[in-house]
Each structure stands twice: as C-alpha cells, then as structure tokens.
Amino acid sequence: MRNLGLVASSCGGLDTRFRAEIAEPAAARGWRLAITLTPTAARWLAAADEIGKLAALTDLEVRSESRLPGEPRPHPDPDVFLFAPASANSVAKLALGIADNQALTVVGDALGDPAVTIVVGYQVRDERSGHPAWQRHLDALSSAGVRLFRLDESWSTALQGLPA
C-alpha cells in the first residue's frame, strides 16, 4: 500500500467536504493516508467531530502538532503529497519556505526533493489573484515541480493529479 501525505488547511467547506470528497476517495483508491492538518483546520474538524472519522480511514494518527524531541516520528515519509484544500495563507507560506506548523513542515521538507510528487489544490477568493505576491508564490511552487491547480466544484478532482 502506497503512502499518501494528505494535508489540509482551513478553507470553507473543510468540515463537510474534506473527508467525503478527498480522504475517503483516496483511501478507496488504495492510498495509506498520512493526514496532517494545519492548526486551524484541526480546530475546525475537531469542532465538527471529524477527526475520529478521518482516523478510521488509516492506521496512522491524524497529526496537527509536532512531536516532542525523543518521540518517534508518527508518519512515514510519503513520496506523494496531496495538499488540498490549501488556503491562500498556506500556499504563500509554503512558497516562502515558512514552516510554522506541522502541515507546512512536512510539505516544506519534501519540496525540492525530485523523488517526491507534491500536488496542491488551492481554494481562494477571486480577489487573491490581485494580491501583488500571489502569482509569484504560484510560480515559485510550479518551478519547484509542484503540481498546482485551483479546486473546482468537486474537490475529488484533486485526486486526478496523483500518480496512478
């Protein structure tokens, strides 16, 4: 079973759509899910009573916090990541190399390793394209080999970016 680093940040619809449209279909396709959430995403999913339901899809713990020094690493190192939904905030921080939470740490560590596939499906307001740094962030990630696209009506289309 191939490991998939499944990462999510706090975008509208996360609490109702992430499990049904991304996590469950990915598990159904045979991926072993290593789920890591931003702190805000974890708070939203906990409030919606979703964390246990996500945990039931995998034998790996659902993470949102860093381990303590001396604790074993709870996730393997996947060679495929799907970061979806990714917020404007997380896309910008990833492009800049900021790793101030566990989600950005795992993806940021993998970014730049040519052996790792990273797919990012972002959900942002139309106005975001007017931000002076937005296109540069997308370009920085694309030039590093990240497969980037904007999520559309069905978040499940994000799975099409994954290797077969």
Ligand X SMILES: Cc1cc2nc3c(=O)[nH]c(=O)nc-3n(C[C@H](O)[C@H](O)[C@H](O)COP(=O)(O)O)c2cc1C
Give the footprint of ligand X on this chain (CB under 6 A): 9-12, 38, 40-41, 87-90, 123-124
Render 53-118 in DSSP notation, one character per residue.
Answer: HHHTT-SSPPB-SPPPTTSPPSS---SEEEEEEE-HHHHHHHHHT---SHHHHHHHHHTT-TT-EE
For ligand X, give the closer residue by CB, 29 or 66: 66
CB of 66 to ligand X, least distance (A): 14
CB of 125 to ligand X, least distance (A): 7
For ligand X, give the closer residue by CB, 11 or 22: 11
Distance from C-alpha of 24 to C-alpha of 22, rounded to nearest angstrom: 6
Q: How many CB atoms lie within 10 A of CB 25?
A: 16
For ligand X, give the closer residue by CB, 100 or 113: 100
For ligand X, give the closer residue by CB, 34 or 37: 37
Sequence letter at residue 68:
L
CB of 143 to ligand X, least distance (A): 22
CB of 18 to ligand X, least distance (A): 12
